[in-house]
Amino acid sequence: MTQELRITRPDDWHLHLRDGDMLRAVLPETARHFGRAIIMPNLVPPVVTGAQAAAYRDRILAALPEGMTFEPLMTLYLTEDTDPEDVAAAHAAGLVKAVKLYPAGATTNSQSGVRDFDKVRPVLEKMAEIGLTLCTHGEVTDHAIDIFDREAVFIDRVLDPIRRATPGLRVVMEHITTRNAADYVRSQDRDLGATITTHHLIINRNHILAGGIKPHYYCLPVAKREEHRIALRQAATSGDARFFIGTDSAPHTDANKLLPCGCAGCFTATNTMALLAHVFEEDGALDKLEGFACKHGPAFYRLPENQDQITLVKQAEPVIFPEKIDTKDGPVTVFDPGFAVHWTVA
């Protein structure tokens, strides 16, 4: 007995593709199902200027296997030295769709990020003027703040003041992990959206820490208590257009994940659409999946929806996903939801 669900081709509104051999290995995992993705700029060195974004876009397109189509939507990495005019030119050329704010030290390759938010005020004002989206990694880096509270404190101390000081600035709160963030999005009436990852709909902090430490579930922002996971599920499956998929699929080799100080990131590009179908069906919301994965994102970014479709198929037997993706740098473990999945993309 099979069940089929045909939906508009989805897009991924937050994706890490890296560069070089890693890029070549992981890009097909996304391009197989997704039409476009917002490409994170946290390379080493980061993608700071329009010229760097153009060169990175060309490397992504060159890495795309023959016969696959995929549109990378480029972003710039905001630094205290970012030139508002360079940002405006990259936007006017249609090259970049967002600027990414990393508080310095918050996550992987964020050392070049922002320490003093006043220093980026001219860039934010220019972005509000031209309608360019700011994507935020929403965590404070203050060591006095507990890591499980860093997102909620970021909203109060950084995000809300920035939005009040910069009317018209369009913001996507990336990879939200708390009820606080979902509530904040709903409390605002304009210019604010949020991405939610696949893995944050599935794991809570017990998955990382109970019964032995599970490095493959460690990502940033770190998964929170169960009540927050439930709040994210409610936001994602509610049909509210302010919430949309951004997988934050973030490949690290197993060697780098399993170090004494392992890297943050879950690699979900391979099985995200199957897992989302499972999650939405479990919550009795399969009819809301197309909005979350295919329609709300383009609407926020003021882009057309994809014109083609994909078909999700539910089969009687559990689907076997690859455990790892081989790369020239070493294997990358695919996110394991910890339950049987019967959905697949035809």
Active site residues: 248
What angle (nearest 5°) sits at the alpha carbon of residue 164, between those of residues 158 and 170?
85
| Whole-Å CA distances, 309 to 245, 290, 294 | 17, 10, 10
Q: Write down the least CB distance from residue 247 to ligand DOR, Å.
A: 11
**223 binding ligand DOR? (CB under 6 A):** no
Which listed residue (42, 166, 271, 333) binds ligand DOR by CB under 6 A?
A: 42
Cβ proximity to ligand DOR, 138 vs 298, nearer residue: 138
Residue 333 binds what, of ligand DOR, Zn ion, none (CB under 5 to 8 Å, by partner type)?
Answer: none
Q: Write down the least CB distance from residue 197 to ligand DOR, Å.
A: 9
**Residue position matching structure tokens 């970012």:** 82
User: Between 225 and 264, how does the x/- string for binding to ligand DOR read (CB under 6 A)?
Assistant: -----------------------x-x-------------x
**153 binding ligand DOR? (CB under 6 A):** no
Residue 220 binds what, of Zn ion, ligand DOR, none (CB under 5 to 8 Å, by partner type)?
Answer: ligand DOR
Residue 219 binds what, of Zn ion, ligand DOR, none (CB under 5 to 8 Å, by partner type)?
Answer: ligand DOR
List contacts with Zn ion (CB under 5 A).
248
Cα distance between residue 159 and residue 179, in whole Å: 16
> Could you tell me the two tokens for 337?
């939801």
In a 13 Å sphere around the CA of 56, the CA atoms on its Cβ side amount to: 29
**195 binding ligand DOR? (CB under 6 A):** no
**278 binding ligand DOR? (CB under 6 A):** no
What angle (nearest 5°) sits at the alpha carbon of residue 334, between those of residues 328 and 336?
160
Q: Write down the least CB distance from residue 189 to ligand DOR, Å.
A: 28
Task: Output the DSSP codes for 93-144.
Answer: TT-EEEEEE-BTTSSTT-TTSBS-GGGGHHHHHHHHHHTPEEEE------TT
Cα distance between residue 312 and residue 280, in whole Å: 12
**16 binding ligand DOR? (CB under 6 A):** yes
Cβ proximity to ligand DOR, 246 vs 265, nearer residue: 265
Residue 123 neighbours by CB under 8 Å, 6+ apart: 78, 82, 83, 84, 87, 99
**46 binding ligand DOR? (CB under 6 A):** no
Which listed residue (96, 140, 194, 219) binds ligand DOR by CB under 6 A?
A: 219
Near ligand DOR in 84-113, by CB under 6 A: 107-108
Q: Write down the least CB distance from residue 300 to Zn ion, Å.
A: 17
Cβ proximity to ligand DOR, 150 vs 233, nearer residue: 150
Cα distance between residue 243 and residue 185, in whole Å: 9
Backbone angles phi, psi at 232, to 5 degrees: -65, -40
Cα distance between residue 36 and residue 33, in whole Å: 9
Q: Write down the least CB distance from residue 314 to Zn ion, Å.
A: 29
Which listed residue (7, 220, 275, 334) binds ligand DOR by CB under 6 A?
A: 220
Q: Pick from 138, 137, 169, 127: which is nearest to 42 by CA?
A: 137
Cα distance between residue 270 and residue 32, in whole Å: 9
**265 binding ligand DOR? (CB under 6 A):** yes
Chain residues in the site for ligand DOR (CB under 6 A): 16, 42, 107-108, 137, 219-220, 248, 250, 264-265
